[in-house]
Structure 1
Amino acid sequence: MAYWLFKTEPEVFGIDHLQRRPAQTEPWDGVRNYQARNFLRDEVALADKVFIYHSSCKRVGIAGVAEVVRAGYPDTSQFDPESAYFDPKASPQSPRWYRVDVKFVEKFDQVLSLQDIKAMPQISQTGVVKKGSRLSIMPVPETEWHALYVAATRRANGR
């Protein structure tokens, strides 16, 4: 099992949207960065855990957890001329963009803020604390995943 952080704008699609979906499952699509695409296509696997990270909002940070329930497969929005994610260079025979399906696991009572994450001395490898790291999909080392999870759940419990 691997651990990931998926960034999203909560007004577009956030942890609340995922929680309300039928079967609480949704494709994670629309990724249009090649490095993030490579993660989705080649590395994100079934049963991997995902932090849902809200960005470009008032309260930036980790909002909850999802699990990958379908590994990488072609993002069909790339083939749809009506889609905002249409790519005229892509074809079903030669897809350029991939997605995974994620299932809601848990919403934290409070967002674990970026400020709090940066203040954690044990968090140094996760992309959100590195200057210039702007990927929407990034790996999280296992030890850092557990530290972040504990911090998020303790915060929710007022500890």
Structure 2
Amino acid sequence: MNYWLFKTEPGEFSIDDLRDVTKPEPWDGIRNYQARNILRDQVKLDDQVLIYHSSCKNIGVAGTAKVVKEAYPDPAQFDPENHYFDPKSDPDNPRWVCVDVVFESKFGNIVPLKVIKDTPKLADMTLVKRGRLSVQPVTKSEFQLIKKMSKAV
């Protein structure tokens, strides 16, 4: 099993939105090649995911999800009405992929980015070192520590 952090803007899609859907939700709209490659080549069935809210007032980890379907072509890339439409993407050789996730938990308290950055045991996280990548690896110990921190923040 692998562990990941998926970033989302809660104004567009939040942990509450994920909690409120009754079926697996496509984690779509990824338009960064490095994040796409991670989704396509590394994210696997039953992997655990930290859901991270960015570009909002309360930036931080808001809860967890689980991957229930591995990478497949992101349908949004072919829909001209969709914000994530890509006219250069070819159905015979899709440029973008998505995975399906289901809600696991919403944290009672968001674990803020500042707290994550100030925690020495999390100093090597991709989130702390690189920050911007929308799909990034997390170690099992980082995943478990952030879950524990959500109860104490």
TM-score (norm 1): 0.92
Counterparts in 2 of 1:44-55, with a 5 A limit? Answer: 44-55=43-54
CA contact (8 A) 1:126 1:138 kept: no
Taking the aligned partners of 1:11 and 1:81, their CA distance within structure 2 comes to 22
Structure 2 match to 1:138: 136
Residue 32 of structure 1 aligns to a residue whose secondary structure is coil
Q: Say whether 1:21 aligns with 2:32.
A: no
Which shows bigger deviation, 29-38 or 87-96? 87-96
CA contact (8 A) 1:125 1:141 kept: no
Residue 86 of structure 2 aligns to a residue whose secondary structure is coil
Between the aligned residues of both structures, percent identity stands at 52
Note the aligned Cα RMSD (angstroms): 1.1
Supply the AA of the counterpart residue of 1:151. Answer: M
TM-score (norm 2): 0.96
Taking the aligned partners of 1:116 and 1:93, their CA distance within structure 2 comes to 45
Which shows bigger deviation, 82-91 or 44-53? 82-91
Q: Report the Cα offset of residue 133 of structure 1.
A: 2.9
Supply the AA of the counterpart residue of 1:91. Answer: D
CA contact (8 A) 1:125 1:140 kept: no
Q: Deviations over 1:74-129 (max 9, x none)?
A: 00111112211111111211000000000000000110000111111101222221
Residue 22 of structure 1 aligns to a residue whose secondary structure is coil
Q: Say whether 1:65 aligns with 2:56.
A: no
Structure 2 match to 1:87: 86
In structure 1, stretches of 5+ residues that fail to align are none
Q: What number of residue pairs does the alignment pair up?
A: 153
Runs of 4+ in 1 over 6 A off after TM superposition: none
Counterparts in 2 of 1:117-128, with a 5 A limit? Answer: 117-128=116-127
